[in-house]
Amino acid sequence: MLFTDLLPTDIPDRLVTDEFILRPILASDVALDYAAVMESTEFLRPWEQTGWPADDFTVEDDLADLEMLEQRHAERRAFTYTMMNPDESECLGCVYILPPDARHYADARVTPVDASEWHSYRALVSFWVRTSRLPDGLDARLLDALRAWLARDGDLGRHLFVTNEQVAQQVELFERSNLQLRFRIDKPTHSGTYLAYE
């Protein structure tokens, strides 16, 4: 399903702050993206729950991923934003926006923790920040910026922020930010439960 089938208007194209830029990811970002990914493997493996990135993950592997993400974004099936520093000389992380019926969740068991209904949400938002920037709280500033940006410039309607329970640092961030847990999401091939917050 295309996002245009779900959303009444386009989602925002970019966000520019004094600290970072969010814009659609491009295959040409591969060198900077690869550096950020490989620095952040200890965070990404429990967050991703697929073993990605593997120890033998190469620049060529990353390029194939980015080509897929760029195409998916252009076709409006899902959206991936790279997070760059202001002069775009360093990748700081990535932001992903998926529809709730994305293939990634096709085999999942979704369990509400309250009276929330999965079909009433229009998008799932997830993100990671490179490991070296976690100590200075960049992830918290990104979350604050995303919440304001999506409320102000996008017409997503209700959306959820998703992480995995094995990523304690991000779970704590969401809960410290007064987001409310709405769903637990279990996938048969993943050891950790995903948690969806509003």
Q: Measure CA of the first residue to CA of the last residue in the chain; give whole Å.
A: 23
Structural tokens at position 33: 């993206």
pLDDT at residue 10 in the model: 56
Beta bridge partners of 161: 125, 197
Kindly state the helix (H) or strand (E) to which residue 36 belongs, with its residue range: helix 30-39
In this structure, are residues 153 and 12 in contact, taking their beta carbons and an 8 Å threshold?
yes
Set out the domains of the chain in order of their start, with CATH numbers: 3-197 (3.40.630.30)
| Residue 168, number of CB atoms within 10 A of its CB | 11
pLDDT at residue 104 in the model: 78
pLDDT at residue 3 in the model: 55
pLDDT at residue 7 in the model: 42
79-84 and 91-98 strand pairing: antiparallel
Collapsing DSSP to helix, strand or coil, 22 comes out as strand
Residue-wise pLDDT tens digits, 45-99: 999 998 999 999 999 999 999 999 999 998 888 899 999 999 999 999 999 999 8
Alpha helices, DSSP H, located in the chain: 30-39, 41-48, 59-74, 138-153, 168-176
Residues 6 or more apart whose CB falls under 8 angstroms from that of 85 comprise: 19, 20, 21, 92
pLDDT at residue 154 in the model: 58
pLDDT at residue 125 in the model: 96
All residue ranges of the chain with pLDDT < 50 are: 1, 6-9
pLDDT at residue 153 in the model: 64
pTM: 0.93
Structural tokens at position 179: 């987001």
pLDDT at residue 73 in the model: 92
pLDDT at residue 155 in the model: 62
